[in-house]
A and B are shown apart, each in its own frame.
Chain A
Amino acid sequence: MAKFKFLIMHGLKSRLLKKSFIITNIVLGLVIVGLVNVPSIIDFFSGEEEIESQHVMVVNDTHDDAFPLEETLLAHFNQAYEHEQYKAYEGDLATFDDFWETGDIDILLVFTGDLIAPDVDVYIKDDGHRNHILSNIQVFLNEYQDIQYANYTFIEAPDVGDDPGMDDETRMFIQGIVSILVLPMFILIIITTQFLGVDIIEEKSSKAIETIISSVPAKVHLLSKIVTNITFLIVQSVIFLVFGILGILISHAILTTTDIEAMSLLAELAERIPNWPGMLAFMLAFMIVGTLLYLCLAALIASIATTQEDYQTFQAPLIFLLLGSYYIAIFLPMLGLDSVVQVAAYIPFFSTLIAPITYATGVTGLMETVLILILTGAFTVLFMYYIAPIYRVAILSYEETKFFKRIAFYVKKAFAKNK
């Protein structure tokens, strides 16, 4: 146990105390904090820009003169135009022709006739506002006409116990977001398996492995490598999480100490993805369990290889598996092939990247996703149990035969010995 602990600590120290690791994380930290605060940062730097005010007077001489026309139109004008502010003109005009001489009024709109099809006299001093004003009047009129001609009553669907699911827009949005979130998972798994593989092959190709295995059992060596790398993955994920939280705190500080009204990116995401805590939890769980599985495969491949070049060649199946699941995770949901994705989510090596997406997009429910997680975990334990004897034989052998012949030889030797 002491040697197992030592190997893990040694592996972690040599990874976490490396200059490259520290520098990369500092840079990544700045990037993550920056990304979380993109809207706030943009607003912060553009905050100095003077917002131009346009003073608008709306005269409602239509048949529906009780309608709050000025208020409604101003809301329309301000809705899409962040760098201009349309305000109600506080003063009064003796005649409309005084508009041109009065300095503090910019726009005058005079509505007459029927408000459904009104006559509108438009006075605008700066022609640059003309299109914005006219298009928004048109939008308002369309809405007003709807209000006048139709009387909508929304009938709720009868409750038959089915999950109503999510609308297409939300689903597309979640697919887009999850595809982006799966990318760091994919990269982290690739990095971790690379670290483990290179670690093992370095010891094996330098022949130091025999000295090491003469002091600790091969099984302990294998487990220590896997635990080291999974711990590294967790540490790295926690660091990312800390950066994310730091970003949120900074964002919060910016929002509370300034009068910027922008939302942080994470807050926007949280608002748009209703089941984000579950999704995040599943992503983390699948990342850990899935990485364990991929680490076992990487360890097996590294033990079979004899040189660095060998390992680079032999790891192709691992990379293909990861790439395959990554593309399935991203593209099949977009094509609407839900049943195919659902089946793929049950395949252990694929489930790592696919299952969080199927959960997020509602293809698999909570219980089904938990079941997939349990199945993937059980498969990982079983896989580890079966590769340990092969690893024990392969790690001290330097066969130079072809990959599959070599595997077959080691499998035969490993299980013949165990009988």
Chain B
Amino acid sequence: MLEVKDVQLRYGDFIAVHHLDFSIRPGEIFGLLGTNGAGKTTTFRVIMGLLEPTEGEVRYYGDSVGYHNVDEIGYMIEERSLLPKMTVKEFILYIGQLKSMPKPLILERLDYWLEYFDIVSYKDKKIKELSKGNQQKVQFMSPLINDPKLLVLDEPFAGLDPINTDLFVKVIREFQKQGKMIVFSSHQLDHVESFCEKVVVLEKGEVIIQGDIKKVKEDFKKLTISINADVDVEILQGLDGVYRVIEDTDAIRVKIKSDEYVRDVFDYVKSCDNIRKFDVEQASLSEIFVAKVGGARGQV
């Protein structure tokens, strides 16, 4: 179990992380979300023990995180962090040995992951000779090689194409099934909510949303109703509880303040012709985020 207990990190008057408090249990996927500069990377550095919090503490199975237990953790930073002059094999051997792994075990796991990511033929190639996508695969392999109990991934999906994203998601799900803890950051909220159970959304170091995603959505009362029917938009806008109507190409989206107004919208739509769709949806994470701090829809 990983516990981040009331962590605050301050540089003089500047507060990089403001009283962050969350925990992750084995088998949980935790999302740390926020805009660029929100404090996600700083939080990861605190979790990894690279930065000492000004207040609070990080506990890993009741113990502090340090170099005595860091071999059980896999850490991938946001930017490409490879040694390009090394071959794939040399790099993974290097990282594996830094995790105190014996060489034969590293090579065995290296072969497994090379096959998994379909880059077996690049084993003895220099990293700088690989394409960006394959370099990203190698980078993703580095925190996996020690079969960690806790996987800390900073923006693992940044710049990935959909096929590779699915591949990475599959690995994360596999780790989850094995009872491992995964904490990752992303600014692609729509993507995160599809497989994350718990989230913390940071903005300028402060927590603006926190908890179980389902609960967060429930607590956020506002709903979206997607309608396909011959409706009059002006009438919809005039209904009680409706605060916004968006005319998308595939449907009309009606934003309502809470579920108590669904009935009124439904009653109106029922009176219209050609009804093909009436879906009541909870707000997406990005909508919740936008509502809390503002920003572009779907991309914070």
A residues with a Cβ closer than 8 A to B are 2-3, 6-7, 10, 202-203, 206-217, 396, 413, 417
Contact = CB atoms under 8 A, between A and B. Distances in A.
Nearest to A9: B97
Given A2-B100, A210-B77, A215-B98, A396 B83 contact: no
B169 to A, nearest CB: 22
10 contacts: A206-B80, A206-B82, A207-B81, A210-B50, A210-B77, A211-B76, A211-B98, A211-B142, A215-B70, A216-B67
A207 B11 CA distance: 23
B83 A206 contact: yes
B251 to A, nearest CB: 44
Given A215-B70, A217-B67, A413-B11, A207 B80 contact: yes
B123 interface: no
Interface of B: 11, 45, 48-50, 52, 67, 70-71, 73, 75-77, 79-85, 94-95, 97-100, 142
B50 A208 contact: no
Contacts of A207: 77, 79-81
Contact of B82 (A6, A10, A208, A217): A208
Report whether over half of chain B's contact residues are helix, strand or loop; otherwise say mixed: loop
B100 A213 contact: no
Contacts of B79: 207
A203 B84 CA distance: 10
A211 B76 CA distance: 7
Contacts of B11: 413
A215 B48 CA distance: 9
B81 A208 contact: yes
A396 B100 contact: no
B50 A214 contact: yes
Given A206-B84, A396-B50, 20 more contacts: A6-B98, A10-B97, A202-B83, A202-B85, A206-B81, A206-B82, A206-B83, A207-B80, A209-B81, A211-B75, A211-B77, A211-B81, A211-B95, A213-B50, A215-B67, A215-B71, A215-B95, A216-B98, A396-B45, A417-B52
Contacts of B94: 10
Contact of A214 (B48, B52, B80, B100): B48
Nearest to B83: A208
Contacts of B82: 206, 208
Q: Choose among A211, A217, A396 the residue with the greatest number of B CB atoms under 10 Å from its CB.
A: A211
A216 B49 CA distance: 11
Contacts of A2: 100
Given A10-B94, A396-B45, A413-B11, A215 B83 contact: no
Nearest to B97: A6
A202 B98 CA distance: 18
Contacts of A413: 11
B73 to A, nearest CB: 8
Nearest to A413: B11
Contacts of B84: 206
Given A203-B83, A206-B83, A207-B77, A3 B98 contact: yes
Contacts of A202: 83, 85
Nearest to B154: A210
Contacts of A417: 52
Q: Choose among A2, A203, A208, A396 the residue with the greatest number of B CB atoms under 10 Å from its CB.
A: A208
Contacts of A213: 50
Nearest to A203: B83
